[in-house]
Amino acid sequence: MKIILLHCFLIAIHVMISDERLIVSGSNQSISASVGDDVTLNCSVNSHIKPEEVSWKKAQKDGDILVLLYQNNKNVSESPDVRYRDRVEFFTKEIHRGNFSLRLKRVRTEDKGVYICQVFTGELSANTTVILERLGFSGLHIMVLILCITACGSALLFCSLIYCRSNNTGMNRHKILYISLFSCTVIEVSMM
């Protein structure tokens, strides 16, 4: 009788384990960022099974690029592609809660694309995808661009004034044009 009960107990445990599902979730919306910003790509494992491996990859036509790898309860720091070295990390204090979100630092325009969070636990695997899009310019980039345009406009106005005043002095117009264009070039370069 004890053997039969033990056998039934083992069968029940086996059914519970084999019924286990690995659920990996991410963001339902694409992520937008500006060049130079830090961004978080979400990946959560909703299971009491501890993942053996979690990898973040960027999908490419000619093969996926390994961005970051977590294996055997530790972050494998030498694994990322050189384009991502020193720019990616897990939220290590959140891993025990199943949070394998990726922090991508100093976003570049070439970072735009589809990222895959792949989770492996024994025979189970699951993944989620996150799309990083709309990489625009930051506020600082826009301010520098406006400053450059303003400086060029001011230099052009200054050169026009020099050229117009040359009519009153009787100087050779070609000489004045060359001098004013040279002055404008010097002013534009010194303002940058």
Q: Is 25 left (phi over 0), alpha (psi -120 to 50) or beta?
A: beta
Distance CA 130, CA 32 (A): 11
pTM score, two decimals? 0.62
pLDDT for 66 beyond 60: yes
Q: What pLDDT, on a 0 to 100 scale, did the predictor assign at position 114?
A: 94
Q: Rounded to 5 degrees, what are φ and ψ at 108?
A: -115, 160
Beta strands in 31-101 (DSSP E): 31-34, 39-41, 43-45, 53-58, 65-71, 74-75, 88-90
At residue 49's C-alpha, the angle toward residues 48 and 50, to 5°, is 110
Q: What pLDDT, on a 0 to 100 scale, did the predictor assign at position 30?
A: 86
Q: What pLDDT, on a 0 to 100 scale, did the predictor assign at position 93?
A: 87
Q: What pLDDT, on a 0 to 100 scale, did the predictor assign at position 73?
A: 82
Q: Which tops the pLDDT comparison, 181 or 157?
A: 157
Q: Rounded to 5 degrees, what are φ and ψ at 172?
A: -60, 125
